[in-house]
Amino acid sequence: MNVSLTGRGVELTDPIKEYLQNAIATLEKFNLDIISVQSVCTKNSSGKKQGVSVEFTINLAGKNTVVIKQRDDDLYAAIDIAIDRAQKALRRMHDREKDHQKVGLNEVKAQTPDIKAEAESMEDEIVPLELDLYKPREVAEVLEEMKLSEKQFEIFLDNDGKTRVLYKRNDGRFGLY
């Protein structure tokens, strides 16, 4: 990782350089292949914006460049806040990369069961069955069955071949469609 420290209107003494180097070294813990970090410390003496501003430009391999700008009255406070913001941004990128891993086709094939074997095993289990639904029945016969069971409705064919529905109403009586 290439580190560039620049001071504009601010003299970068050895303790400040060491402090910046240690702060930038904390960014390596996210394993994001950082190519370079440029740090520019600028003294602001114009009008309302008096104080010091710190700008970090972090170049990542295969990803967007992260730029953090922070202004404060104290240089060390500006560096601390800017590094915290840079760590937060890199943590988000790291978590996004870690959570959204791509799964290869071979792993998916290994995880899925053999569909052909399942289909063959199911063929032996198919048993044809004639449903009672298609046998013509009397309404009175279905009504007696409904009274003895706890079913809410019954669908059946009457003697005329019409599909009918006998249902239990809320008042305890029965209805017929």
The reported pLDDT for the residue numbered 145 is 86
Query: Which strand (E) or helix (H) includes residue 167?
Result: strand 163-168
What are the boundaries of each domain within the chain? 2-99, 132-176
Q: Degrees (nearest 5) of the Cα angle 77, 82, 87?
A: 130
CB atoms within 10 A of CB 3: 14
The reported pLDDT for the residue numbered 155 is 82
* pLDDT in single tens digits along all 177 residues of the chain: 899 999 999 999 999 999 999 999 999 998 888 999 999 999 988 777 789 999 999 999 888 899 999 999 999 999 999 999 999 999 998 888 776 666 666 776 666 666 666 666 666 666 665 555 567 888 888 888 888 888 888 888 888 888 888 888 888 888 888
CATH fold of the domain at 2-99: Double Stranded RNA Binding Domain (3.30.160)
User: Has domain 132-176 been given CATH number 3.30.505.50?
Assistant: yes
Residue for token digits 């070294």? 25
153-157 sheet: strands from edge to edge? 153-157, 163-168, 174-176
Q: Residues 46-85, buried b or exposed e (16+ Cβ, 10 A)?
A: eeeeebbbbbbbbbbeeeeebebebbbeebeebbbbbbee
